[in-house]
Structure 1
Amino acid sequence: MHLRLVSTLALCSLPIATFAASDITSIEDVKRGQTVTVQGTVDRVMDTDEFRIRDSTGSLRVYVGPNWVPADVGEQVTVTGIMDDDLLPRPELYAREITVGDEPPITIEHRYE
């Protein structure tokens, strides 16, 4: 096990999150402006506060700023957040909660509204 920098991320004392398959949205089905939960593998850490998640249907940028990315490439994550509604060619998910593997969920205190 290695130490992770979590910066201003607040760790929840809730039990380990479990998600029913019906709670998970495939990456190809996410829509701008929608609150979603996606699940996949960290494909790439793009910056200290942004990473790319991949499932069997595609990939998606996840923004956790101004916090540090709490996962490493290859780790399984579940992310709940709001899809941006900007007209960028590749939208990103503004994370509100991230679960890395079997660890307790991490709540992102900063809100992106």
Structure 2
Amino acid sequence: MRHKVLIASIALFMPTLAAADQTIAALQPDTQVTVSGTVDRIADEDTFILRDDTGKIAVYLGPNLVPVSVDSSVTVNGIVDDGPTPEIYASSLETSTGEVITFDHSYN
């Protein structure tokens, strides 16, 4: 019985692992995402452009200033907006040093 519970637990956990490896090209509107890449440019005080090997996307930080610089490696957690131009509404950001920055503004 314990063996079956372990297998079921692993099966439930596997989709979470896959979500961490998302690429920009594969992002879908209205989904919670985790995507890693490099800061391509700072678009304005609360938005930067993230790039990976598959493309670029704007990352909106709400009423928060961009805490990273161009060419920084980051991992972003957030929701992909369903507007005409794809954009991630970030809930948190992790830098290459492991610092995690959370953004208080709620987009739900």
| Separation in 1, partners of 2:21, 2:45 | 26
Match of 2:101 in 1: 106
- For residue 24 of structure 1, report the CA deviation from its aligned partner: 2.3
| Separation in 2, partners of 1:108, 1:24 | 22
Match of 1:66 in 2: 63
- For residue 98 of structure 1, report the CA deviation from its aligned partner: 0.2
- For residue 55 of structure 1, report the CA deviation from its aligned partner: 0.2
Match of 1:30 in 2: 27
Provide Cα deviations, 1:77-104, integer angstroms capped at 9, x if missing partner. Answer: 0000000112x1x210000010111132
| Separation in 2, partners of 1:21, 1:47 | 32
Cα distance change of structure 1 residues 101 and 21 upon mapping to structure 2, 3 Å threshold: farther
Match of 1:84 in 2: 81
Q: TM-score, normalised by structure 2?
A: 0.80
Instruction: Give the structure with higher Rg (CA).
Output: 2
| Separation in 1, partners of 2:59, 2:68 | 12
Q: TM-score, normalised by structure 1?
A: 0.77
| Separation in 1, partners of 2:99, 2:41 | 22
**Does 2:102 align with 1:94?**
no
CA RMSD, aligned part only?
1.4
Q: How many residues align?
A: 92
Which residue identity does 1:92 align to in structure 2? Answer: E
SS at 1:28 equivalent: helix
* Contact preservation (8 Å) 1:32, 1:91: yes
